Structure 1
Amino acid sequence: MTRHEADVVVVGGGGMGSAAAWRLAGRGADVVLLERFEAGHVRGASHGASRIFRLSYAEPVYIRLAQEAGRSWRELEAAAGVSLLTVTGGVDHGRTADLRPLAEAVEAAGAPGEWLAPEEAAERWPGLRYDGKVLFHPASGRLHADDALSALQAQAVRLGAVVRHETPVTSIAVRGDDAVEVTAGEDVYRAKRVVVAAGAWAEKLLGGLLPLPPLRVTQEQPAYFAPLGEVAWPSFTHHLDDASLKATGFPSGVYGLGTPGEGVKAGFHGTGPVIDPDERDFRPEPVQLRLLREYARAWLPGVDADAFTPISCTYTTTPTSDFVLDRVGPVVVAAGFSGHGFKFVPAVGRILADLAITGERPDARFALRRPPVGA
């Protein structure tokens, strides 16, 4: 058995763990990042060529976090010398969805959107059909997830962090308020803090250590559709109410965005089958894939619904879809990003560094023990 010493061990080399390592190393901490799989793997939730970046939330806490993340993505781009965030604009639409709270929230945060008639939106972005009035968000765009992960880890290493892939953690043991041992095979890492950002494996690693909320792990079924011609694509969210869902058979609303070199990505949100992350089959889920193609035929006139590439990814979802960002003793946890977390990656990295170094906590909605709604 080999023993190692560090200030902080980060468990999980996806977006959140890599951002934590970057921010911690930037503050002078001696950091080791342990990732169970090889670099560039596709078993988690941080791989692929595209994720939506947007400020369009109805909750001010998420708007502020997205605004911070936008500045931090630019900081990372400058440090790494790569382009990660491409501003394309984004649209929300849905005839029966009340988008006014969304519009009011972003306006109050100083990032107002613009209301468009469906005909005007169709002139700008003819690849989409629009369901009622359209809310346009000029600051929205696309993040390159694979490149972001590589940049975060490279910058963490540049600042002194050690990154070890193919190093699965098997146990975490608390030895005191400022002492924790992390075991990975024959190696034991002793540190003052551990940051656990293990995605779909969070409950397996932390179930006996922390009072985690229920975490629902699903295998989601988005797809890339081949575009018909060269047209601009905003990121988009089509909101569907219960009556619309019943009439169409769709399991949820739909999100999407153009992805250069891949096609137009579209998917339902958080509706895949519950799975064990160690027992995934990665096979397309036929019912959801059929419904997604039906959606593309009806609402995406700019794609060929019969020319598609299925994608397999995971969501780890909390009951409220709020993240878990908290600390108990020497254990910091980042979990439950519920299919909408990647845009916030560098801001979450800062929060995790705060929790590990100073104990400063973020908004109470991210706590392990959350106050009752309305409290």
Structure 2
Amino acid sequence: MPAHEPAPVHIVIGGGVVGAATASALTARGEHVVLVEQHGRGHDRGSSHGATRIFRQGYSDAEYVALTTRALALWDALETRTGKRLLDRTGAVDHGRPEVVDAIAAALTDAGIPHEMLTPEQAGERWPGIAFEGHVLAHASAGRIRSAEAIEVFLSLAEATSLADFRFDTRVTGIEDHGDELTVSTSDGARMRTRSVIAATGSWAPTLVGDLLERRGARLPAVRVTQEQPAHFPSHLPDAAWPSFVHWAEGDDVYGLLTPGEGVKVGFHGTGPVVDPDHRDSTPVPAEAERLQAYVARYVPGVDASRPTFISCLYDTTPDEDFVIDRRGPLTVATGFSGHGFKFAPLLGEMLADLALGGAPHPRFALVR
């Protein structure tokens, strides 16, 4: 039986954007971290991969609007610190159902975030690649995160401190509960005992830590793990013609943004089939692929709807689409990012570092007792 390794201060499980941001935040505070990731560095098996993600402040919920403002300040600080461009300010446009768009406008007004309301005709003149309907709202503080680069920045910052030990292609095979400490066993035979484990495991959280949390008197919400299938479509227009966009449509909501060099990514929000994250084939559902192409042909005239390149990614969605960020004893958990978590990455890293060091959780994201 392999001997226990010297106890690390923190074990971060998961090397996606949340785990990477947490490792960066902890090492920046002088804390030692072992990061364990079952796949390779920058892998495409979870929710974080790909070159772009949307940054937008367009929520109708005041708490989330406030969180976007805090996250934006941290993205700006990260760019200043590293000298790297991570957020392209393309602006973002919301259109569709008036009750939704108007609620977003009210929340942005209350938060003092500049925005403008347009008619569909005005919006179409400004952004001819999109066919607008209903009410239209634009805000300039939004844009496109260089997501793959962002993950690498977080990892590199942690590495640069010499306080981080990265173990990629290493699976957690068990977590033993000793009260104030946990022992994490991994596929390479290591057994690490520690007072702080941060499970930033997204879609894998229910199976990895669900039972442990229940034994500690808390439970995860019903996290629904789905395989989503957005696609890139070749653009007829220059890159500068594309804002990030959300269509609050009758039926399923749709998001889109340009990925430079790949096309315009368009996808339905959270409509994919339920899957086991360890056993999925990443094959598009034909009927859904056809439905997406039909949508794009109607509402995104600036691309070639007949030439999609499909993408496969995971959503870990809670019933109310709120995040789960909380701690029980030596275990901190992060899951349920519901397809809208990436924009908050540097803030999530700070929040998880705070929790791991004894801070209080955000009440909205606390576990159910």
Scaled to the shorter chain, the TM-score interval is: over 0.9
Matched with 1:228 is 236
Question: Which amino acid in structure 2 is aligned with residue 331 of structure 1?
Answer: L
The answer to whether the 8 A contact 1:79-1:155 is kept is no
Give the Å deviation of 1:77.
2.2
State whether structure 2 residue 13 is matched by structure 1 residue 11. Answer: yes
Give the Å deviation of 1:96.
4.8
**SS of alignment partner, residue 45 of structure 2:** coil
Give the Å deviation of 1:132.
2.0
Matched with 1:93 is 95
CA offset digits 1:251-302 (Å, max 9, x no partner): x111001110110000000000000011110111111110110011101110
Aligned partners of 1:188, 1:69: CA distance in 2, in Å? 35
Give the Å deviation of 1:40.
1.9
Residue range with higher mean Cα deviation, 158-167 or 252-261: 158-167
**SS of alignment partner, residue 307 of structure 2:** strand
Question: Which amino acid in structure 1 is aligned with residue 206 of structure 2?
Answer: E
Give the Å deviation of 1:74.
2.0
Give the Å deviation of 1:200.
1.2
Aligned partners of 1:266, 1:2: CA distance in 2, in Å? 50
CA offset digits 1:308-344 (Å, max 9, x no partner): 1001000000111000000011100000100110000
Matched with 2:79 is 77
Matched with 2:216 is none
Question: Which amino acid in structure 1 is aligned with residue 212 of structure 2?
Answer: L
Give the Å deviation of 1:97.
4.2
1:170 to 145, 169, 173: 173
The answer to whether the 8 A contact 1:221-1:310 is kept is yes
Of all paired residues, the percent bearing the same amino acid is: 48
The answer to whether the 8 A contact 2:95-2:133 is kept is yes
**SS of alignment partner, residue 157 of structure 1:** helix
Residue range with higher mean Cα deviation, 85-94 or 182-191: 182-191
| Superposition map of 1:123-272 within 5 A | 123-159=125-161, 160-177=163-180, 179-185=181-187, 186-210=189-213, 211-230=219-238, 232-241=241-250, 245=251, 252-272=252-272
State whether structure 2 residue 367 is matched by structure 1 residue 368. Answer: yes
TM-score (norm 1): 0.93
Q: How many residues align?
A: 359
Give the Å deviation of 1:100.
1.7
Aligned partners of 1:292, 1:224: CA distance in 2, in Å? 11
The answer to whether the 8 A contact 1:103-1:112 is kept is no
Aligned partners of 1:337, 1:229: CA distance in 2, in Å? 32
- Spell out structure 1 runs of 4+ moving beyond 3 A: 95-98
Aligned partners of 1:342, 1:253: CA distance in 2, in Å? 18
Aligned partners of 2:144, 2:364: CA distance in 1, in Å? 27
Which 5+ residue runs of structure 1 have no aligned equivalent?
246-251, 371-375
**SS of alignment partner, residue 83 of structure 1:** coil
Residue range with higher mean Cα deviation, 333-342 or 81-90: 81-90
Matched with 2:50 is 48
The answer to whether the 8 A contact 2:16-2:42 is kept is no
**SS of alignment partner, residue 290 of structure 2:** helix
Question: Which amino acid in structure 1 is aligned with residue 308 of structure 2?
Answer: F
CA offset digits 1:90-113 (Å, max 9, x no partner): 011114544222111111112132
Question: Which amino acid in structure 1 is aligned with residue 122 of structure 2?
Answer: E
Aligned partners of 1:3, 1:365: CA distance in 2, in Å? 37
Matched with 1:315 is 315
Aligned partners of 1:76, 1:187: CA distance in 2, in Å? 34
| Superposition map of 1:313-352 within 5 A | 313-352=313-352
The answer to whether the 8 A contact 2:102-2:135 is kept is no
Question: Which amino acid in structure 1 is aligned with residue 248 of structure 2?
Answer: H
Question: Which amino acid in structure 1 is aligned with residue 246 of structure 2?
Answer: T
Aligned partners of 2:242, 2:254: CA distance in 1, in Å? 15
Aligned partners of 1:165, 1:302: CA distance in 2, in Å? 40
Matched with 1:248 is none
Aligned partners of 2:288, 2:231: CA distance in 1, in Å? 10
The answer to whether the 8 A contact 1:6-1:190 is kept is yes
TM-score (norm 2): 0.95
Aligned partners of 2:81, 2:278: CA distance in 1, in Å? 35
CA offset digits 1:155-181 (Å, max 9, x no partner): 01112211211111111122222x221
The answer to whether the 8 A contact 2:255-2:269 is kept is yes
The answer to whether the 8 A contact 2:91-2:140 is kept is yes
The answer to whether the 8 A contact 1:221-1:267 is kept is yes
Give the Å deviation of 1:41.
1.1
Which 5+ residue runs of structure 2 have no aligned equivalent?
214-218
The answer to whether the 8 A contact 1:332-1:356 is kept is yes
Matched with 1:249 is none
Matched with 1:292 is 292
